[in-house]
Structure 1
Amino acid sequence: AVEQARRNAKAQGVNARFEVADALNLGSSTTYDTIVDSALFHIFDDRDRAAYVRSLYGATHPGSVVHVLALSDAGRGF
């Protein structure tokens, strides 16, 4: 899927970088302008959700935008 996204971006002339990483430990050596979470947050339990939010915080900088797509608001914690 990531390779397909890279090909699609290149074909459309879009300057984008797609990465595969451990979402709970993104690190802070690289920060991103935009992060898109497509239906990931809701799969975590409370402990991992907190770790995920900390991980996102470490991978962003002032002015970054994080988009979180949740598939349902009916689940626990929404």
Structure 2
Amino acid sequence: MTHPLFDLTGRVAVVTGAAQGMGRSMAIAFAEVGADVIIADINAEGLESTAEDIRKLGRRVIPITCDVTDIEQI
């Protein structure tokens, strides 16, 4: 449910570590308040699970499997 003081419709959020824990929670929370989300993690399976939950909210999501600590993968 979108809070009227916190509407991210038309915005894009980038979240790393989105396969589990806080990263997953933040990615879903951004989607719940209207943002489309770019998510990244080294865990492809967990990342796709998060992406599917975001799609179920009707938001666009781009999952990117990579290690954000490796500059060659970014």
Q: Which has the higher contact order (CA 8 A, sep 6+)?
A: 1
> What's the TM-score once normalised by structure 2's chain length?
0.37
Structure 1 or 2, whichever has the larger Rg, is: 1
